[in-house]
């Protein structure tokens, strides 16, 4: 969680939060499941200052009404983290997904070329068709990442407009920055 958010929060899933007015205006909940991870990741990606304060907790007196079991909790939190990571780092995510396809496709094409150049025999023709197919898939996945990155920039602009609108509605005004 620390790596994804870029923060040093020690207990990410604790529901205890305190926000400054500015931070509350900048944060927009995106997750249906858990606002705790959502706000920490957003705060880290927006460059907000996040501090972790240790607190004492009471022993559990009853089973959780929110969590059925530990596996349900882990699955739900992992999907939230993954979804938000892709949301904030789309190009990096899709590049990681595309890389194995591009590498395998390149390796198969290199295999064909090596044997074709050294022996003059084209007995590994299947490497060409499979290699090109893998390369095409990898390039298409990468292009989805590029498109997602462009959409992410539009989201950032929309977030800034939403922040300014919220601030104006609350009477705080907005300083025009140059």
**How far apart (Å, rounded) are the C-alpha atoms in residues 98 and 143?**
9
Instruction: Look at residues 4, 46, 80, 36 and name the one whose alpha carbon lies nearest to residue 159.
Output: 46
Is 28 part of a structural domain of the chain?
yes
Could you tell me if 17 and 78 lie in one domain?
yes
Could you tell me if 80 and 114 lie in one domain?
no
Local confidence pLDDT in tens for the 178 residues of the chain: 777 777 777 777 766 777 888 888 888 877 766 677 778 888 888 888 887 777 777 887 887 766 777 787 778 778 888 888 888 889 999 999 999 999 999 999 999 998 888 888 777 889 999 999 999 999 999 999 999 999 989 988 998 898 899 888 888 655 655 4
Could you tell me if 94 and 137 lie in one domain?
yes
Could you tell me if 103 and 144 lie in one domain?
yes
Please report the pLDDT score of residue 106 as a whole number.
96
Domain that holds residue 136: 89-151
Please report the pLDDT score of residue 178 as a whole number.
46
Domain count, the chain: 2
Instruction: Look at residues 7, 99, 79 and name the one whose alpha carbon lies nearest to residue 46.
Output: 7
**How far apart (Å, rounded) are the C-alpha atoms in residues 119 and 131?**
20
Please report the pLDDT score of residue 140 as a whole number.
98
Please report the pLDDT score of residue 15 as a whole number.
62
Q: What is the pTM of this model?
A: 0.70
């Amino acid at each position: 969680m620390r790596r994804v958010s870029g923060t040093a929060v020690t207990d990410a899933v604790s529901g205890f939060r305190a926000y400054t007015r500015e931070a509350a205006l900048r944060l927009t909940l995106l997750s249906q499941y858990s606002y705790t991870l959502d706000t920490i990741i957003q705060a880290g990606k927006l460059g907000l200052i996040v501090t972790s304060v240790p607190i004492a907790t009471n022993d559990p007196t009853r089973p959780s009404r929110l969590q059925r079991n530990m596996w349900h909790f882990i699955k739900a939190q992992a999907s939230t983290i993954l979804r938000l990571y892709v949301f904030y780092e789309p190009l990096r995510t899709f590049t990681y997904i595309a890389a194995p396809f591009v590498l395998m496709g390149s390796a198969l094409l290199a295999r064909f070329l090596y044997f074709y150049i050294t022996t003059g025999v084209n007995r590994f023709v299947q490497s060409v068709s499979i290699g090109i197919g893998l390369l095409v898939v990898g390039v298409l996945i990468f292009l989805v990442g590029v498109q997602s990155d462009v959409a992410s920039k539009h989201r950032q602009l929309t977030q800034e407009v939403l922040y300014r609108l919220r601030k104006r509605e609350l009477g705080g005004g907005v300083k025009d920055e140059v």
